[in-house]
Structure 1
Amino acid sequence: MAEALIFYTNPMSRGRIVRWMLEELGIPYRTELLEYGGAMKSPEYLAINPMGKVPAILHGGTIVTESAAICAYLADAFPSAGLAPSPLSRGAYYRWLFFAAGPLEAAVMNRSMGVEPDAEQQVRIGCGDYGSVMETLARALVGGGFIADEHFTAADVYVGSQIGWGLENGMIEERELFRDYWVRVSDRDAYRRAAALDDEAMKAAE
């Protein structure tokens, strides 16, 4: 019997990334929708994630938080979905998963809050500066295809989600390379199912 998988989320959160990943896997899972504030800060949920944030998953006795970590874990836990390269071919896969979770998100969020590190600060922080992050990401997408392998992987779920959200909200600069990549990776039934589920949950909460 397969271990139960519980998905803790809010449809207006990074949980949308994990929802997409779960739909790519095509496995059964139970969704626990949490409201910001009370439910996320309840003792019951803080036992799952002391940060009081979503998403998180509980798979059997294993708790995983942080969207990129959840995507990587799920790709390994359900290898038949083919969403991770073979172990010895994961250099680019790990690189871009954690580039998007680290420098990309940090640079984008800094810019959105009006934080512009000076030259000395750029040396000390992992994301450097916004322009360098955008150029690095763009170079990775030259030539089309996918971010880390010849086929779609969990890295495309995560990197694609960051790019798609950034373009939609004007927090990632509009470039043809970024737009084309987002259109390419989101043109999938699993993405459409995931978006529909979260959009429906948002409407139900209104």
Structure 2
Amino acid sequence: MIQPSDDEIVFYTNPMSRGRIARWMLEELGRPYRTVVLDFGTTMKSPEYLAVNPMGKVPAVTWRGVTVTECAAICAWLADAFPEAGLAPAFDDPARGTYLRWLFFAAGPVEAAVTAKALDLLAPAEKAGMAGYGTFDQVVDALESAVSDGPWLLGDRFSAADVYVGSQIVWGLQFKSLPERDAFKAYAERLSAREAAVRARGIDDALIVAAQAGS
């Protein structure tokens, strides 16, 4: 792997992974970055990459000697690192609480509930209180309430939380892991039309086509 310069953003990903979320976030920033594409089971498990992320998973982003993994953390960190992009409320902005609430709601209860349902491992009703997400229906109802007023989670203000929460909803609709509620579909349509989202999809889709052509 090429050693990054001090001020270079390096993005480790695979176009068929959650790295697509981080790619979209990077495109929203509008700053240059270098992409390192890794393959599942081979370069993603190499000693060089395990030194970046011991989990051997993507995405990961490095900048100025700092490495961040986990998509929600990457979105939050990049938004704070580059405030000029206007993707996160300032620390003294009352909207900061709402921003963090939904960003980490998606990273916690939504991710856990959707995964548990897909694996037929949802907590039984009598033990739902032991699960951090409660019940799947509670999570879906809360998520719907978050995106119903719109157009974004912070009203008229788009933020990094929309990148992460929106990605969960877009994928949930695509893979049928979330119900097709009108609020989800309308929110997903608004998100998918953003210029940065269109660019990010184009880049990753082109990488997939190139990989398939070379295989």
The TM-score normalised by the length of structure 1 is 0.96
Q: What is the aligned counterpart of 1:181 among 160, 165, 187?
A: 187
Q: What is the aligned counterpart of 2:45 among 41, 46, 53?
A: 41
Structure 1 CA distance, aligned partners of 2:111 and 2:122? 14
Q: Deviations over 1:100-158 (max 9, x none)?
A: 01100111111111112113432112111110000111111222321135310000000
Structure 2 CA distance, aligned partners of 1:72 and 1:18? 11
Structure 1 CA distance, aligned partners of 2:8 and 2:150? 37
Structure 1 runs of 4+ aligned residues shifted over 6 Å read none
Map 1:193-204 → 2, pairs under 5 A: 193-204=199-210
The letter of the residue matching 1:43 is P
Q: Deviations over 1:32-87 (max 9, x none)?
A: 00000011111111111111100001112000000000000000111110000121
Q: Deviations over 1:170-198 (max 9, x none)?
A: 11110000000111122111000000000
Structure 1 CA distance, aligned partners of 2:149 and 2:156? 12
SS in 2 for 1:48: coil
Unaligned segments of structure 1, at least 5 residues: none
* Contact 1:8/1:56 (8 A) holds in 2: yes
Unaligned segments of structure 2, at least 5 residues: none
* Contact 2:24/2:196 (8 A) holds in 1: yes
CA 1:47–1:121: 2 relative to 1, 3 Å: farther
The number of residues matched between the two structures is 206
The TM-score normalised by the length of structure 2 is 0.92
SS in 2 for 1:3: coil
Of all paired residues, the percent bearing the same amino acid is 55
For the pair 1:123 / 2:129, whether they are aligned, the reply is yes
- Structure 1 equivalent of residue 17 of structure 2: 13
Map 1:82-121 → 2, pairs under 5 A: 82-88=86-92, 89=94, 90-121=96-127
- Structure 1 equivalent of residue 141 of structure 2: 135
- My pick for the range that moved more, 95-104 or 123-132, is 123-132
